[in-house]
Amino acid sequence: MLEHDKIIDGVTEKILLEKEVGVEVARQREMKWIEMFCHWDKWVKHRFQKVKLRCRKGIPSSLRAKAWQLLSNSEELLKNNPGKFEELEREQGEAKWLDIIEKDLHRQFPFHEMFAARGGHGQQDLYRILKAYTIYRPDEGYCQAQAPVAAVLLMHMPAEQAFWCLVQICEKYLPGYYSAGLEAIQLDGEIFFSLLRRTCPMAYRHLKKFKIDPILYMTEWFMCIFSRTLPWACVLRVWDMFFCEGVKIVFRVGLVLLKQMLGSVDKLRELQGMYETMERLRNISPDTIREDILVQEVSVCVSCVLQTAYIKLVSVFTQRHGL
């Protein structure tokens, strides 16, 4: 680990720059994670802060799949439901869901080798787990934003594991995000915008001035957990933190992005219109986002202010919406 001075938004901040983790360091990290896996329950119960810190540093890619399953508890779900996935697979499923799922199979990460070929393994597995979910939760059915999330999981683990991980994301991490009506995501959009007002008034005022509702840019960010938004290395780091800390990471990443894109007079000068601003938000240029800086910013994202503000806002909004 090297310590560097980095200029962010004109302010010099010390950040820990993990520059191409050397082989030695990588091996040490793997050992630490394997050690944690061996006594997982104890680590989570007694040394969660350490687990959190290690997730923020990035889970070694060789162990990521296992870590995600432990963090999300999906591994236990799988153990407690032996044969359930196969059973779900044997069912026919409802045509109205299967129709939309089939139309979406070739529209997820079309340039990823796993999903590029029509009818290839990736697309087949994607079909299997999305279909299984509609049978597992017939009341929920299928939501189009589940496909990219499921695809990211399939890039890391076999279909059955990916299925239970998806179940946890839909039910524990982002409950209601994919349900008919999409109320939860709209509610979180309002909460997100209120948080922005406190954390980056300049970006807030700009979006308000051009009447850019949060729903216009954060729907895809949040529902796909940034998998279509950020450079790939960042996606993985965000997901590592997300599996450990939950939805608040999604909020924080969103706030950091808005701050980086709309948080200074200079940046706003080029964005004098709704169209220009939306373009910027919907096509985040990969070279404006650095993995280490993003993680650093997310970690320090005035966490206690946010936490209290978030809790307050949730209760205000849920009351207002009569939820």
Partner 1 sequence: MAKQYDVLFRLLLLGDSGVGKTCLLCRFTDNEFHPSHISTIGVDFKMKTLLIDGIKVRIQIWDTAGQERYQTITKQYYRRAQGIFLVYDITSERSFQHIMKWASDVDEYAPDKVQKILVGNKSDEVDKRQVATEQGVKLAKAYGMDFFETSAFTNHNISETFTRLAEQVLAANKKDLDLLRTSINDELNLAALEEEEGLCDSAAGDQHKGCWC
Q: Tell which positions 256-295 bind partner 1, by CB under 8 A.
A: 272-276, 278, 282
In the block, residue with structure tokens 């009818």: 119
Q: Between the CA of residue 316 and those of 172, 190, 205, 319, 322, what are the distances in Å?
A: 22, 11, 22, 5, 10
The DSSP result for 119-152, as a single string, is T-HHHHHHHHHHHHHHHH-TTT---TTHHHHHHH
Smallest distance from the beta carbon of 280 to partner 1, in angstroms?
A: 12
Smallest distance from the beta carbon of 234 to partner 1, in angstroms?
A: 18
Instruction: Examine residue 216 and tell whether it contacts partner 1 (CB under 8 A).
Output: yes
Q: Which of 205, 228, 248, 280 binds partner 1 (CB under 8 A)?
A: 228
Token readout for 209 is: 């001035």
The stretch near partner 1 (CB under 8 A) out of 3-11, 49-57, 107-115, 289-297 is 107-115
Smallest distance from the beta carbon of 182 to partner 1, in angstroms?
A: 5
Smallest distance from the beta carbon of 179 to partner 1, in angstroms?
A: 8
Q: From CA 33, how far away is CA 35, in angstroms rounded?
A: 5
Q: Which of 219, 225, 245, 255 binds partner 1 (CB under 8 A)?
A: 219
The stretch near partner 1 (CB under 8 A) out of 23-31, 78-86, 182-190, 310-318 is 182-190
Helices 23-38 & 64-72, crossing angle to 10 degrees?
30
Q: Tell which positions 194-213 bind partner 1, by CB under 8 A.
A: 209-211, 213
Helix (H) or strand (E) holding 3: strand 2-8
- Which CB sits closer to partner 1, 67 or 262? 262
Smallest distance from the beta carbon of 282 to partner 1, in angstroms?
A: 7
Instruction: Examine residue 108 and tell whether it contacts partner 1 (CB under 8 A).
Output: yes
Q: Tell which positions 112-141 bind partner 1, by CB under 8 A.
A: 116
Instruction: Examine residue 186 and tell whether it contacts partner 1 (CB under 8 A).
Output: yes
Q: Which of 40, 52, 89, 179 binds partner 1 (CB under 8 A)?
A: 179
- Which CB sits closer to partner 1, 111 or 265? 111
Q: From CA 239, how far away is CA 243, in angstroms rounded?
A: 6
Instruction: Examine residue 253 and tell whether it contacts partner 1 (CB under 8 A).
Output: no
Q: From CA 51, how far away is CA 143, in angstroms rounded?
A: 32
User: What values do phi and psi take at 183, rounded to 5?
Assistant: -65, -40
With beta carbons less than 8 A apart as the criterion, state whether 199 and 301 touch. yes
State the DSSP code for 83.
Answer: T
The stretch near partner 1 (CB under 8 A) out of 77-85, 105-113, 259-267, 285-293 is 105-113
Instruction: Examine residue 190 and tell whether it contacts partner 1 (CB under 8 A).
Output: no
Smallest distance from the beta carbon of 255 to partner 1, in angstroms?
A: 19
With beta carbons less than 8 A apart as the criterion, state whether 290 and 187 touch. no
Q: From CA 15, how far away is CA 2, in angstroms rounded?
A: 9
In the block, residue with structure tokens 């080029």: 270
- Which CB sits closer to partner 1, 159 or 218? 218
Q: Which of 2, 5, 23, 111 binds partner 1 (CB under 8 A)?
A: 111
Q: Which residues contact 129 (CB under 8 A, 6 or more apart)?
A: 150, 153, 154, 159, 162, 163, 166
Helix (H) or strand (E) holding 244: helix 232-245
- Which CB sits closer to partner 1, 73 or 144? 144
Binding site for partner 1 (CB under 8 A): 99-100, 103-104, 106-111, 116, 143-145, 147-148, 179-183, 186, 209-211, 213, 215-216, 219-220, 223-224, 228, 272-276, 278, 282
